[in-house]
Amino acid sequence: MHFLSKTQPRSGFVRIAALALCFVFAAAVLLSAAFITTHANHTHDVTGADGSCTVCIQLVHVQTMLKQLSTGIALSVAAIFALFAILGILRIIKAYTSAHSPVGLKVKLNN
């Protein structure tokens, strides 16, 4: 993919799309939490399909969505921390293995 390469900066469209996706994600989480908060103690209305409460059905859908989103966020954060831990370990290994040669230590051999 050419737009993710190091030599070319990201295009404006990709930045705007990423920002819009973040905004939609945050709005979904916040509005879902607000819906649960405002309808937690509602009076049951049994006018839905097969005599069920429509608000209760919506609450279950919103709770399921929040659980799925939180699972995705937790996995992403864990993957990022694992990546940084691996990169740190590789940096330490490289520092201990590459600096012990005369060339790596920049020793001037005059003899």
- Name the residues that contact Zn ion, by CB under 5 A: 44, 53, 55-56
CB of 67 to Zn ion, least distance (A): 19
CB of 34 to Zn ion, least distance (A): 17
Calculate the alpha carbon distances from 55 to 36, 44, 110 in Å. Answer: 10, 7, 85
Q: Nearest-CA neighbor of 28 among 78, 64, 79?
A: 64
Q: Which is nearer to Zn ion, 10 or 44 (CB)?
A: 44
CB of 28 to Zn ion, least distance (A): 22
CB of 43 to Zn ion, least distance (A): 8
Residue whose C-beta lies closest to Zn ion:
53
Residue owning tokens 């966020």: 73
Q: Which residues contact 59 (CB under 8 A, 6 or more apart)?
A: 35, 36, 39, 40
Q: Which is nearer to Zn ion, 29 or 56 (CB)?
A: 56
On whether the CB atoms of residues 63 and 55 are closer than 8 A, the answer is no
Q: Which is nearer to Zn ion, 11 or 52 (CB)?
A: 52
